[in-house]
């Protein structure tokens, strides 16, 4: 099992890295955004905005990086921060009108680009892939819960 496990984990990591390269190259070339900026714009698109906490949970951006990326998007006029009246400690980040236009410009073409490697997948292929990924996620989450209690 040990060697088999290592082969599988390596293959999973290689797939993730290859997909990231495929997606990031398209983002940089076609949108002029960084992958982190795109991630925030895509996450905020078609929403009334969200707190930094929610944004951090829904993106792949670490908390330390998130503030700087939002700062740059705000300086570009694509997002705005609003302090919540009910809880002055909570700040909502939302797209501006320019940010909404940017979302509309970049999101759909990027999704179409990212779908290309999956064109030969059937519904059954996706079902099997999703089942295995869910199973792995469940095991990893359980191991993480055990790690925290130790």
37-77 pLDDT tens trace: 999 999 999 999 999 989 999 997 888 899 999 999 999 99
The pTM is what? 0.80
The Cα-based distances of 92 to 59, 67, 87 in angstroms read: 15, 12, 11
5 vs 147, residue with greater confidence: 5
72-119 pLDDT tens trace: 999 999 999 998 777 667 789 999 999 999 999 999 999 999 999 999
What's residue 110's pLDDT? 94
71 contact partners, CB below 8 Å, separation of at least 6: none
d(CA 54, CA 48): 12
Matching residue, tokens 């290859």:
18
pLDDT band, very low/low/confident/very high, at 149 (cuts 50, 70, 90) = low
β-sheet bridge partners, residue 80 = 94
d(CA 116, CA 23): 11
């Amino acid at each position: 099992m040990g060697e088999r496990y290592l082969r599988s984990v390596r293959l999973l990591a290689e797939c993730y890295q290859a997909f990231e390269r495929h997606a990031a190259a398209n983002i940089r070339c076609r949108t002029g955004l960084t992958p982190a900026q795109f991630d925030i714009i895509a996450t905020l698109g078609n929403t009334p905005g969200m707190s930094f906490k929610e944004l951090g949970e829904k993106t792949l951006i670490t908390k330390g990086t998130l503030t700087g990326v939002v700062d740059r998007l705000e300086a570009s006029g694509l997002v705005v921060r609003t302090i919540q009246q009910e809880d002055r400690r909570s700040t909502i980040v939302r797209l501006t009108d320019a940010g909404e236009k940017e979302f509309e410009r970049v999101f759909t073409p990027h999704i179409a680009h990212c779908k290309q490697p999956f064109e030969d997948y059937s519904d059954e292929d996706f079902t099997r892939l999703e089942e295995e990924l869910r199973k792995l996620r469940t095991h990893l989450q359980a191991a993480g819960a055990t790690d925290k209690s130790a």
